[in-house]
Amino acid sequence: MTAPASGMAVPGAAALSLLLLLLGAAAAAGCGYQSCPPTRPDLLNVHLVPHTHDDVGWLKTVEQYFYGVRNEVQHAGVQYILDSVVAQLAADPSRRFVYAEVAFLARWWRQQDEATRRTVRQLVEQGRLEFVGGGWCMSDEAAAHYGPAIEQLALGRRFLRREFGACGTPRVAWQIDPFGHSRQLAAIFAQMGYDGLFVGRVDHQDKATREQLQEMELLWRASGSLPPPTADLFTGGMGHPPNVYNPPSGFCWDQLCSDPPGDEDSEENNVDSIVSAFLQIAASQAESYRTNHIIMTMGSDFHYENANLWFKNMDKLIAHVNARQANGSHVHVLYSTPSCYLWELHRANLSWSVKTDDFPYADGPHQLTGYFTSRPAFKRYERLSNNFLQICSQLEALAGPVAREGPYGPGNSSVLREAVAVAQHHDAVTGTEKQHVADDYARQLAAGWESCQLLVANALASLSGSKENFIFCNALNISVCPLTEAGRFTVILYNPLGRRVSWPIRLPVNGASYAVTDPQGQPVPSEVVPVSNFTRRLRGGGGSAVWELLFQASIPPLGFSTFTVSRLSRGGPRVHPARTPVLSQPQEIQNEHLRVLFDPLTGHLKEIQNLDKSISLPVFQNFYWYSSVGNNESPQASGAYIFRPNSSEPIPNALVQGHQNFSSWCSQVVRLHAGQPYVELEWTVGPIPVADGWGKEIISRFETTLQTDSRFYTDSNGRQILERRRDYRPTWNLSQTEPVAGNYYPVNSRIFIKDKKFQLTVLTDRSQGGSSIFDGSLELMVHRRLLYDDNRGVGEPLVELGADRQGLVVRGRHLLLLDTVESAADQHRLLAQELFMAPYVVLAPGGGPSYRHGQPSLRQFSALRRELPPNIHLLTLTPWDAGTLLLRLEHQFERGESVNGSQPVTVDLLNLFSAFTITSVQEMSLGADLPLSAISRLVWTPAIGPAQPRPVPKLDPSQVTLQPMEIRTFLATVRYKVPGAGPGGP
């Protein structure tokens, strides 16, 4: 997100190979730190890092960026960048370049002939083409959940390892464009083996303080649970003055830049002035850093389409600046890479200040906190898509090749895997892309769903022994499914979690009475309720059901249960949609665990009682909206990135008595499900009216009597919990310019407030922005529709017209938990995983033929011999190479947050699964591209005292112990019991 590029002709592969042969003797020996160029200990060393930042979608789609089309929107063609860079690196062995976005690299790589591939491999082996970051994309750090964030990194790193070997493995994480940086993602980088992280965007107040204290480079202690230095990560902030990841002012030599080249032979003869300006910039930047090494990024968005322009001018700059040393200059300039710069910092043998929180971000007086909520429908689709990808991968692992080549056609999980990986990009899940690009991201996900649905059907048929006509109803959230509206059917419910769950099922039907039976043929209690007016209006003519069938389904761990549904009374009462009765809001609802009270006059939520703990809390909830169009203080309006309300006081929606209809465009249903310890709030918002000329940002606010002392708590990427304090930052004295937006934080999965006794937690079904603007309150932004661009580059307002062009309608859920402080984590940890890895419904008419002659059909199946303990989560189960599966197990509690949940747990991997037998196990790094024993990270000295890495213990797969917040990754060789099943089977 900054500036574009242009093109040039590229020499053929044969010419490149010849150039490398001629220059090979002069090339640096080997890759890694040993390939780094020599520096001068007596001088200031300026490391020039040639790079291009290639957004995997933003103003153009991924394909448009790669092929270089729609240049009237932005001039950018990634294929030409890679062509041009390779040619220029081959032309001079002193030159270096770094590249980050593997989604583009993999696409380009598939198009190259073997001669070009050999050339690129040689450049990588010489350390002159270095991969940084190494993810499929440069993921966001606020709206991305840790599960898919790990997956997209692993996907990119696996490609690099497969094609380039050990020299292709990134040593440096490269997060130069995300709008803030999270503690959990730093912990992930550390556990994948990265030696350091470089970031481009640091809050302007934080940066000013750090520059003054020479703390732009520090040690990030990214976990309070993992023993140091497991999650410690050296972190460098770049850019002086605030040029983020761009070149210094006056030194941009790309095709689209206007800075003059250095020329000593013409009448311009501007070399002296250019060199003097560069020396002044270098001296100024060095004042903010502690060593005699500084880094300058030479490139920007989609630069180097004509790499000759950049390299020719940098060659001259290096020569002329270094020539000044003869006249007493103390500056030495060199081509370098982030890892070579990092190596010099490590060699300095200093101790570094320690940071333990995260990096919220503002680039000026206005806060980039709007994107925590922007495009809420896509944020939900991304979350659902990852959920389905995990189910698809698990079933592929359990059923083997028959899942990919079964009776329903060829299934392929890689399409969805790559689409979900792209969706983690910092201009994708963030909602900061143009509308047509958001549509393309959704299209990629939809194509992935189609391939995975075939795979799921093949796998379920194989595992169940029955070839059903499997139906995937993708619009159940608006009560549309032709099969269930017709009559008798079966419900196959797959549970991706490693423990048994009870899950509420809600299906559209047209009968008034149904019988539901479980896998053993036993009756299951059910009820039929009318479809709400809001749902009928939302679906339009897409469905005809006027009732919804509700029942609670129990599903075994890592398995499925099949339920049969039969309509009992065809002649039962039918209700025409126009005459569906409006349900009056009861004054209270209750189940085994909770009682919820409503105000008899207004219908608002009034009080929640936890019957198990005999505690109660007054809770008022309402929807409000912030107006966001700029005001007399500043013309800055809210947009895709920025949240800037005109006033700190939002405008309430009046509640109309009934099904909690707050307005014609805002409604909510409050539910208690049988046996469940939470209150479900299903909200429907939109189309947000804007005819009055006001953009609106809609919040759901909860007000309580809790004494919270300005504190509230949010998750970091869905995993660690961080304390937040209003108008406060732990590492600098905050000058608060936005009292609302400046206190908003990303909420991936939960937000809570507490006093010394009670805790109120709200779980979300997607990433949202949230805060506590006054004591005892919580608020979550659920939708936003804005009329102005916020001038951060996307160039269009966040209007989101939706399919009918009238405005987007969004539906979602909040789960509300009331508990004691001591017990709260035991509930919110498990429920957050249930929301993230939710069971999946597949439907069928029933009565399908046998899958294999003589094979009995199974109505219930579990791939585990026993449930996993509640504090252990099966994060990953997916096919890897032939005969092997990738497994990730994680401890999902933090140290000290639960008496029982925070204890270490030991699991017997060898006897865990019933679907296959594990014959051997190798423990891997978190990225799964390196054996754990091969990880050897640079050891840094914290200012608070040294921490030595612990040796990797010998693996006993029958006793795998997980400590709080630990993730352990394994490659397992497996043998399947069913002939023909399993990876590598016939």
pLDDT at 11 over 50: no
* Residue 548 contacts residue 508 (beta carbons within 8 Å): yes
pLDDT for res 980? 39
Q: Rounded to whole angstroms, how far apart are CA atoms 716 and 146?
A: 8
Tokens of 622: 């309402």
Backbone dihedral region for residue 239 (phi beyond 0: left; psi -120 to 50: alpha; all else: beta) = left
3-state secondary structure of 240: coil
Mind telling me the catalytic residues?
Answer: 177
Query: How would residue 358 be classed by pLDDT, with cut points 50, 70 and 90?
Result: confident
Query: Is there a cis peptide before residue 689, judged by omega within 30 degrees of 0?
Result: no
| Share of the chain residues as helix, strand and coil, in percent rounded to the nearest 5 | 25, 25, 45
pLDDT tens for 595-631 read: 999 998 888 999 999 999 999 999 999 999 998 776 6
What DSSP string describes 181-192?
Answer: B-HHHHHHHHHT
pLDDT tens for 691-746 read: 999 999 999 999 999 999 999 999 999 999 999 999 999 998 999 999 999 999 99
Query: How would residue 580 be classed by pLDDT, with cut points 50, 70 and 90?
Result: very low
Phi, psi of 772 (to 5 degrees): -130, 100
964 to 189, 648, 928: CA distances (angstroms): 18, 39, 20
Find residue 780's DSSP bridge partners.
Answer: 700, 770
Tokens of 806: 């009238």
pLDDT at 984 over 60: no
Q: Which range (22-31, 589-598, 828-837, 899-908) has the least confidence?
A: 22-31
Q: What is the CA radius of gyration of the chain?
A: 29
pLDDT at 784 over 70: yes
Q: Rounded to whole angstroms, how far apart are CA atoms 140 and 577?
A: 43
Tokens of 457: 């059907």
Query: How would residue 117 be classed by pLDDT, with cut points 50, 70 and 90?
Result: very high
* Mean per-residue pLDDT of the chain: 91
Instruction: Name every residue whose Cβ is closer than 8 Å to that of residue 939 and which is 6 or more positions away in sequence.
Output: 229, 948, 949
Q: Rounded to whole angstroms, how far apart are CA atoms 166 and 157?
A: 11
Q: Rounded to whole angstroms, how far apart are CA atoms 471 and 578?
A: 29
3-state secondary structure of 226: coil
Tokens of 388: 């389905």
